[in-house]
Structure formats: structure tokens, C-alpha cells
Structure 1
Amino acid sequence: MPGYSVKLQGGRADLKYLCTSCGLLLCEPKQTPCGHRYCQSCVEELIRSWGGKCKARSCGEVVQTQDVYPDKAIEREILVLAIFCSNVEDGCKWEGVVRHLLEHLSECDYEKITCINAGCKATICRKNLANHLQSDCEYRPVTCQWCEEITPHKELKAHKQTCPAAPVKCDWCSKKGLTRAQLEKHQNPETGDCPSMKIACSFEHMGCKDRMEKRQFPEHLKKTVQNHLSMTNTYVICLATNFEQHRQKVEESRESMQILLVRLEKGIKDADAKIIEIESKLSSDQPQGATSSGGNKTLENRIEEERTKVEELRRKIAAWETRVGTFEGIVAVLNREIEKCSSQMEAYERQRRQDREIIETLERKVRSLERIIALKDVALAEQDLRIQTLEMTSYDGVLTWKIADFTRKRHDAITGKTASFYSPCFFTSRTGYKMCARVYLNGDGMGKGTHVSLFFVVMRGHYDGLLRWPFRQKVSFMLVDQNNRENVTDAFRPDPTSSSFQRPTSDMNIASGCPLFVPLSQLESSSHGYVKDDTMLIRVIVDTSDL
């Protein structure tokens, strides 16, 4: 990650603590051979995108990955720097050291968090996330009141316009109580039962162009019997005329075929007669001289060769016909197999699409359930916090604050991890002032390191408009001696001119009280039980006698 974007408590940071690239407080500092310091992510970006050229002014030295090394000394110095929360401008009051920043940000109410709903890119303070998820997010999952399908709130309106389970009314017959899916079947031209559906006349192919409601069809048939008969007569006459025309064409074709057959038969007879005549001439010419005999023999040889060639061609044709028949059989078998495989592939593809649709539906349901569970977890956490607050809240102006695990909290205060923390809120009455206490176990201001500092805080309440301002009630502090010997007490009356006691304009006013409430050395007294069983008890009493 790039450097820490925070504000130091002591003013501006020393330049040696700042990244040469991003200019922020160094995170995982690395030092280059040229002596400049970068964040871990910044030096990786420098080498990847800038060719390793150092960004320091008037430097420009090329940095190699193997030449960069961690700067642990600077890192230790940075981790103990006192800072404010990076969300201080948004209202976070946390103060600590860099070492504990990431831990604090993981639970800071003012940290910006991206909405968990798919499609929503909004970033919201953690304390406002629950309200955003429940009512403000346009992508929050909502359930359709008709089909119970879960859809983003942004798309709910469009879904309702196409929801198959949405109630609709038939525009033709005004029938109510139908769903959109039932309406499609109700108005189907072939199988629908809507009595007001517009249908075509059954004599449409005869020439009737009338369209009427389904319930009006019997009456239409009665009124148009004469017209339908006339249309039928015209249609039959047209059919008869066409049939006669086709019959005449067939007769003409038959006569033409007969004439052609006669001509072919005559041509065949003429060819046979010529063949016989030639054979007769050949046989009558055989007794003639040697020259004539040699010519006839040559002619016979040629005829015999031609006959041989013809027979050979016939054998080849027969063989090819056999092969063609075989191949046609093979092709037919292959075609059947291809058709069978195609049918199987189509069936598999349909099944795959159905399975994919089922999987996508289940995935949507799982995502929806995960979002619902996240919302429930947030709501439960808020409810637990609300219940805990209610259990510890008092309405009589008296706060009894039990600080458990005192040793650890004291150590955190000394190291600066958690310098102070607040008590649960309490009230002077159900509609009275809202208040709390703030304690510094290692002191604050004049008492830092020597005393426990205890302060009183006026908070913004729901009924501030009904109360008297500024706050004027006497406030008493008491550190309870759990051995019942000697309690430590202190009290003060609010200064009406102090901003700490004016009507709050934010969640709480500036704390005011006793920076020197009790010396730290007194807590360790063996004769008193100010800290017993690692627990301290503090009581804050607000005088309500004049309210």
C-alpha cells in the first residue's frame, strides 16, 4: 500500500519520514543506493513503470530491485509517531501512534467502506453502512411480492412490468384475478378461452374477411349463411375450372408422348431393317475374290473390335453400378448415424443449457442469501450494542463506571496505544441531559505521567431542545475505595461561558474536568482498594435537585 495519509499531532512530519514518490508518511520504508526512501509499493511501481529512474529532484539514478533494502531504523521511528486518525476531518476522535493505525481503521466508525451489494460502487462510513444496506442502496436485494424472486431494488420496477406472477386484467373481456402468464394462455388465438378474443371466420380460406369476438362467432355463422354459400360456390367453380385446365394439359401431354413413342418405334424398326440388310450383303459377298475377302475380313475384325469394346463398356458400367449401389448404401448408413448423433448432440446441448440455468439460478440465490446474512449480522451487532448500552445506561444523573482489565488499559495509556477512553452514556432523566465521562489512566495535560485525569463530557441528546442551556448542574467525581475506607472525591460547577457546557452541535462537546483527579502513586496504596481484582470503580454524580 502507499504511505500513511495521516495528520501528526506535533505538526508537520520530518522530510526523512516522507516517501520520495507519493509524499506521504512512509509505509514499509525502503532505501535506494542513492539514499532516497520510498514506500514498498511505490518503489515496486517505480521499477515496473518508470524504468527504475529515481524521482528525487536532480537525481535520476536508475534503481535495481536487488539494490533496494528495508530501512528498519526509519520504520521504528515512524511506528511510534503520535498521529490523529486519517478520518479526523470526518469526526473521528482517535489519537494514537502509527503502529496501531491499521488496527484502529479496521473498526473505525468513520472509515470509508465499499458497499457489499453487487453493482454498488458507493463508499460509506462504517457507522452508516447498515442504514445504507437497509434503505439507501439502489442495489440492495428485495423480494418481488408476487413471484418472490430476489432482484436489485433498482431493477424492481422493470421486473414488475414483466413479472409472470403479477396480477393483470384482460383488456378484451375485463376478467380479473389473472396473472400475466395466465393472461397469455387466456388470450391465445388457438387455445385461449377469452370470450371477447378477436378470431377469424372459419370460411376465411373461402374469402370471408370478417373478424369477431369468440362469443359472436355462432351469430356470425347464422347471419352470413347465404354469403358463405356463395363464397363456397365460387370457390368450387374455381377449383373445377382449374381441374379441367389441368386435365386438358395432361391429355395433350399424353397425346404428345404417344406420337413420340410411335416415332421411336418406327426408328428402331428402320434401324433393325438396315442391320439385316447389311448382314445379308456381307453374307452374299463372302464367295467373291481374295481382295474382296480381305476387305470383308478387315471389316469383320473392326466390327468385332467394336463389339468387344461395347461389351467391355457394359461390364464396366455394370461394375460401376454395383459400386455406386454399395457407396449409396454406405452413405445412407452414415447419414442415419449423423442424424442420430445430431439428435443426441441437440439433446445434450438442451440438457447443458437447462443445467446451466439451474446453476445460475442457484448461484443467484446463494449470493442473495449471503447478502441477507451480512445484513442480519450487521443488524445483530447493532442490536447487541444497543442492548448493552441500554443495560448500562442510568437515568438518575448517577454513573457507576466499572473499568475492568485495569492493568492492560493502564499499559496502553502509558505506551500511547489508547491514551483515553469514554464511559457509557447516562442521563439526568428520561428526557434530560445526555452525558458521559472520559478518563486518562496516565494523565493528561498538567497531570500527564503523575495523575489519573477524569473529565466530564456533555453529549448531544434527543431532547436538547427542551433543556436549559448552558449546562449549570454541579458535577461530582468519586474514585470508590473498594475496601470501604476512604473514597477520593472532587467536584466542580460548570463555567457558563465555556464551550464545553453549551448546547452540543456535534456528537459531544470538549471534555472538561479534573486533570489532577488522583495521583498515580495513591492507586498503589496497600491500605486502600482503589484498584482491586484488576478493576477500578468511578462514580460521577450530577446534581439534579433543581431540574
Structure 2
Amino acid sequence: MVRSLAQWTKTLSFPSRISPNKISRENVNTVNPTISSNSLYPSCLKHNNEISNIMSDSNILIKDVNQIYSDQDSEKSIMRSVVYCIHHKEGCKWSDELRKLKAHLNTCKHDTKPCSSNCGAQIPRVLMEDHLKYTCLHRRAKCEFCTKDFTGESLESHIGHCGYEPIYCENKCGLKIQRRVLSQHKSSDCFKRLVACRYCKKDFVADTMATHHVKCGRVPVVCPNRCEITDLIREDMELHLKDQCTISLLNCSFKEAGCRFKGPRYLMDKHLEENSSQHLSLVCTLVTKQQHQIASLKSALSHLSLNYSGTLIWKVGDFAAKMSEAKTKEGMELVSPPFYTSQYGYKLQASLFPNGNGAGENSHISIYIKILPGEYDALLRWPFAHSVSFTLFDQSTCPEKACNIMESFIPDPTWKNFQRPSIEPDSLGFGFPRFVSHEMMKKRNFIKDDTVFIRVRVDPSKIVAV
């Protein structure tokens, strides 16, 4: 590259600062190179104001060389000055007289020159080889994937679009596929592509389709009994075997009654028709057996529900209706659930006459206790000797103000009603014909929500043990 003097003096760097008053032609050539402020004070400048016009703080910017060097001697003096290469900041170590700089720049490896391939770029000599090989737009290069020849400019456009370049599948299957066949891979070969099940039409990842088919309810299956029906699907198989398959083995519908026949469905109607009498007999036997079981269960349930505490809380509901019925129906009696004095004690039952009995008829409520035949009477002491009390509860909202009515008695051992009963007694038992008057029943809260509560208690301190 050929430069004029005005061009390369614009970027000159001098090794040292020279005083304008002491500079001489002799000592210009003997200045020791040191890296300091790069300035030039030519001896040909006579006035300080001329120096200030051309000097800067650290570097000299020379705009017109002819204005500064007014004679040839001054120019020669300057040209013998020792300077650095204009590319010393890029790493060039050259330093010599200014007049040799031009020749040096023609060989300096850091100096730029036009690209030899005429791409228009100015490239340092040291980078020219790499430029021609890798970055020059006019270089010739082969695509590493398709091996076709391209210029540098067209190769840059080609990279990223080459059909032979392997790239990762977008379905994240982990495979690298050439760009030109990637679409076909994603649509037909990729095992991570979405595929619709041909039976249920739902989408699944391709590599899970085999697992889905094992469970898919719409997959065609064969009846395990190999019957004549062929258009079965998995979700209908259970219903088919239960209600439709003619070869399925079935138990006779009278199995619970005792029939042991087991055969295919198509023979079942014939079996039922030919064995109707036998089935009827089995059913009758089963019914009889179940009746005994029901009776036994009722007895067990009744036994479990019995009261063995010796105290009965008797709830009499719909009292107004029962009172009205008792007034129109002579001798109407209400009986309580039976209860026991203990688990193996006496069996008792209370009876109530809403409209009274005997001396309390039409004016009082009468109440009695009677002894019933029990399971353990043979182990008990007779006559019955427990004291018995009856209590009518006052259902006041304030328990402290409640006024209950209670009557009690001690059995007379000579009275036949307290002897061991042999059969269900027909007698009234023992009690109080005038327990509570009808007038008293209205004065307090003995009747509340049309309900009456009566407690019958047997004194546990007089339970006679065997």
C-alpha cells in the first residue's frame, strides 16, 4: 500500500518529547526511544503560538506539512527523527528513522492491504491468510454437510438451510435427522410423534401405543368360549359372558334351593322345563328351612332387646287418642314390654288403664305389675318378694321444679299373684287402681307432646339369689 507523506505523518509516534529551545540538528538523531507522551517540537518553529496551534496534549496532528517545513533542511532534520511504527499498538516492535517508515509499512505484517480476492476488504497482512480461508466473501468453500462448492457470501446464506445438515428432532426423540427428511421422520418414523389409536381414535405417543392397545376398550377381542359371535370389543366382553354367550357355563337358577345342575346357556331353558317339579320341591324345603331360621333370629333378637336392669322406663305416646278410646271402650288395657329383674331373674310386665279400673274407673289412671313365666323360674325363690315402685314423671322444662308422682308396695307372700306362674296370667297383677286422677294429669306437665313417661322399678336390694 503506497501512502503519501501527509497520510502516514498523521499517525506518527515519537519516542520522546523534544524541547523547542534546545533542539538541534545533531541531537535529533540521538534521541533515546522511550514510551512517553508522543509529541514533536520542530526546531524550525520560531513562535510558541505556532506550536500551540499544532500540538495536542499527547499526540501531534499535522494538517499541512508544507506550512510547517518551510525549508528542506528542517524537513531532513525531521525525517531523521526516530519514531515507532504506526501499528505499534497492534504489536509491531519496529522503531527507526522517520524516513524509513514508508519502506517499513510496505512489509509490516500489521499494515492493511486490499484483499487479494478483490472482496473490497482492507486486511492486515498477518490476518490475510485466515481471511482468504475463512471470512473472505469471494473465497471458495465446501459445505461440510452436502459437500457443494460455494463462495463465502453464499455459504453464509446456505448454512442453516442445508438439507443434509443433521438436526435434532423437534419431538425430543433424541435423534439427529437430516433437515431434508425431518418432516417425513416427524410424521411417520419418530417414536415420540402423536398417533391416533385406530380403535378409540384418541391420540397417544407412538412408543406407548402397544401398551394402550392392551387396555383399550375398543380393541376387537375373541370370546374365550369361542362362541359364534365375532364382532366383540373388550369393554363389552363382561356383559357378553354374563348375558349373551351361548356357550358360557351357568349354574341353575335354583342353585340356592339345592339344584346342582351346571351347563351351557343354550341348555338352561330345557333343564328348567324338565325339572320344574324337582325345583318346586327344593324351593318348598328351602322356604321351610328359612322360616325356622327367621323364627330363631327373631327369638335371638328379642332376647337381645330385653331389659335386664330391673327398671322399665315406659313411654306411652298418642296419649290423648288412647284416653279417648279408653273412655269409649270399657276395660281397655295398655301393656308394657316385658323386662327382667336381672339377667337370670324374674320376668315382669306393667299394665296401664288410661280411664281407670275398679275403684279408679272414669276418674283415675290405674297401673299394675304382673309376673310372667320366665326361663329361669325353676332357679328362683318363690313367692316373689321384691318391692315395686311406680313413678309418673313431671316433664317440666325446669327439672328442679318438677313434681313427680310415685307409689310403691311390698308384695304380700300369701297372695297367689306372687307365686310362681305356670301359664300366662290372666289376672291384673298388683298395683294402684287410683294411681293419678285425670284432674291431676291436667294440672302439671305430666302430659307433654301427647306423651307420658312412667318408670317401673324393682328394688335391687331384695333380689333373691339361688
Question: Whose Rg is larger?
Answer: 2
**TM-score normalised by the chain length of structure 1:** 0.32
TM-score (structure 2 length as normaliser): 0.38
